[in-house]
C-alpha cells in the first residue's frame, strides 16, 4: 500500500488553518472531515468552529473504530456514537450555530473495504467510481450566489472583484434581507435572485421555502440539519443524530479495490489519474479557468486574491493489490 495525503487551507498565505481534517490509521480507518465554516466566525480556544467539529469527530472516529468489532456496527450506530461525542464537546455555550462536519471513511474490515459517507465529501474507487452525495439546499445557495455575484461584479467593476465576492458572500451567508437593510442590494434584485434560484433548481412547488431560506441566509441553514418536514432537510454530523438515512454505506471485497481516494469538496472534480500531484494540478487548472466558480463547478463561494474558494483535502491509498 502507498499512502499520499494533503490538507490545504483556503488561505493562500498559509498562516491560518482551514476547517478540513484528515485521518490515517492503517489497518483500521482512513477519513476526511470537512468542518462547516461558521458564518459568524466563532472561534473557541483559537480553533474555528468548523475545524473544532472536524477535529472532535476525527479523534472519536480513531478511538471508536480502532476496535475491529466496531467497524462492523450499523452505520446509524457509528454515526450516533460520533454524534454523542461531538455533542458532549460542544455544550460550553460558545456556539450559536452547532458546529458540524462531513464524514468520509474507508474502514478496513478483514477481507472487505467498507465506505461510509455523511455529507458532501466524497470517495473515488479504482480511479473511476465516485461516491459523492450532494444537498439540495446547497444547490439553491449556489444558484442564488452565482446570480448575485454577476450583479456585484458589474456594480464593483473589474478592479474590485474581491469586494464583489465578499459582498456576495455576505448576502448569501447572512441573508438577502440583511443585505437589503444594509442598502447593498434592492428589494427588486433580491426578488430576482430568489426567482432565479427557484426556477434553476426546479422548485416552483416549494417557492416559499426557497424565498424564506435565501432571505434568512446560510446562517440559518442549521435549522434543517438532522430534522424532518422540509424539502431542505439534510443529515449531517452536528451533535444530534442523523435521522433521514442520507448517508452512503458500501462494502467491496478487497480483491476488487486497487485504489481509494477520499476527498473534501474543496476539490471540485477528481483528476484523471490516481496521484496527489494530479489532484493538485486539476485544482489549479480549474481555479485558473473559473476563478469565481460560476460555471461547471459553480459553488457557494468563489476565490479571491487572498483565498481559494475552499479548503481542500485528499487521502489516497493505492497499490492495494500489488
What is the secondary structure of 99-128 as a DSSP string?
Answer: --B-EEEEEEETTEEEEEEESS-EEEETTT
* Fold for the domain defined by 2-135+235-318: Phosphatase 2c; domain 1 (3.60.40)
Assess whether pLDDT exceeds 80 at residue 317. Answer: yes
**Which one-letter DSSP state was computed for residue 11?**
B
- Nearest Cα neighbor of 210 from 190, 240, 238, 225 is 190
Say if residue 136 is exposed, middle or buried (CB neighbours under 10 Å; 0-12, 13-18, 19+).
middle
> Cell 446560510 belongs to which residue?
218
Q: Rounded to an integer, what distance in angstroms lies between the CA atom of residue 298 and that of residue 32?
A: 22
Which whole number is the average pLDDT over 24-53? 92
**Which residues lie closer than 8 Å to 75 by C-beta, 6 or more apart?**
116, 247, 249
| Cell numbers at 226, concatenated | 438532522
pTM score: 0.95
Which residues are within 8 A (CB) of 54 and not within 5 positions of it... i.e. 6 or more apart? 19, 20, 21, 33, 34, 35, 101
- The label of the residue with cell 449556489 reads 142
pLDDT at 40 over 90: no
Enumerate the domain spans of the chain.
Answer: 2-135+235-318, 137-224
pLDDT 10s digits, 67-103: 999 999 999 999 999 999 999 998 877 788 899 999 9
Please give the radius of gyration of the chain, using alpha carbons only, rounded to the nearest integer: 20
Q: What is the mean pLDDT of the chain?
A: 96
Q: Which of 9, 42, 5 is nearest to 25 (CA)?
A: 5
SS3 call for 55: helix
pLDDT of residue 174: 95
**Using DSSP, how many helices (H) and how many strands (E) does the chain show?**
8, 12
Average pLDDT over residues 253-259: 97
- pLDDT tens-digit map of 107-144: 999 999 999 999 999 999 999 999 999 999 999 999 99
- Give backbone dihedrals phi and psi of 123, rounded to 5 degrees, phi first: -140, 135
Task: Name the H helices within the chain.
Answer: 49-65, 75-89, 136-156, 161-174, 176-181, 187-200, 207-216, 276-289
The C-alpha angle 239, 240, 246, rounded to 5 degrees, equals: 110
pLDDT band at 322 (very low <50, low <70, confident <90, very high): low
> CA-CA distance, 309 to 322, in Å (whole number)?
37
What is the length of the chain?
322
The residue with cell 416549494 is 206
Residue 321 has pLDDT above 90, yes or no: no
Amino acid at each position: 500500500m502507498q499512502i499520499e495525503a494533503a490538507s490545504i487551507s483556503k488561505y493562500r498565505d498559509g498562516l491560518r488553518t482551514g476547517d478540513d481534517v484528515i485521518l490515517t490509521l492503517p489497518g483500521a480507518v482512513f477519513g476526511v472531515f470537512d468542518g462547516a465554516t461558521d458564518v459568524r466566525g466563532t472561534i473557541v480556544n483559537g480553533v474555528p468552529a468548523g475545524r473544532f467539529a472536524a477535529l472532535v469527530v476525527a479523534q472519536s472516529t480513531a478511538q471508536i473504530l480502532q476496535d475491529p468489532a466496531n467497524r462492523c456496527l450499523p452505520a446509524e450506530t457509528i454515526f450516533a456514537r460520533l454524534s454523542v461525542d461531538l455533542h458532549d464537546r460542544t455544550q460550553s455555550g460558545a456556539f450559536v450555530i452547532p458546529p458540524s462536519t462531513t464524514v468520509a471513511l474507508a474502514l478496513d474490515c478483514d477481507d472487505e473495504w467498507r465506505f461510509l459517507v455523511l455529507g458532501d465529501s466524497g470517495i473515488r474507487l479504482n480511479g473511476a467510481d465516485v461516491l459523492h452525495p450532494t444537498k439540495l439546499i446547497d444547490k439553491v445557495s449556489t444558484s442564488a450566489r452565482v446570480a448575485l455575484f454577476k450583479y456585484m461584479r458589474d456594480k464593483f467593476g473589474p478592479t474590485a472583484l474581491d469586494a464583489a465576492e465578499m459582498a456576495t458572500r455576505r448576502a448569501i451567508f447572512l441573508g438577502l434581507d440583511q443585505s437589503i437593510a444594509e442598502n447593498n442590494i434592492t428589494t427588486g434584485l433580491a426578488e430576482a435572485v430568489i426567482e432565479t434560484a427557484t426556477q434553476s433548481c426546479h422548485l416552483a412547488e416549494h417557492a416559499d421555502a426557497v424565498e424564506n431560506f435565501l432571505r434568512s441566509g446560510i446562517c440559518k441553514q442549521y435549522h434543517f440539519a438532522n430534522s424532518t418536514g422540509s424539502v431542505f432537510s439534510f443529515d449531517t454530523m452536528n451533535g444530534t443524530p442523523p435521522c433521514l438515512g442520507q448517508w452512503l454505506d458500501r462494502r467491496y471485497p478487497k480483491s476488487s479495490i486497487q485504489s481509494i481516494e477520499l476527498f473534501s469538496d474543496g476539490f471540485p472534480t477528481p483528476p484523471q489519474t490516481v496521484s496527489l500531484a494530479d489532484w493538485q494540478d486539476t485544482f489549479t487548472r480549474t481555479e485558473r479557468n473559473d476563478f469565481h466558480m460560476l460555471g461547471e463547478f459553480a459553488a457557494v463561494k468563489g476565490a479571491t486574491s487572498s483565498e481559494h474558494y475552499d479548503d481542500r483535502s485528499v487521502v489516497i491509498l493505492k497499490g492495494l493489490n500489488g
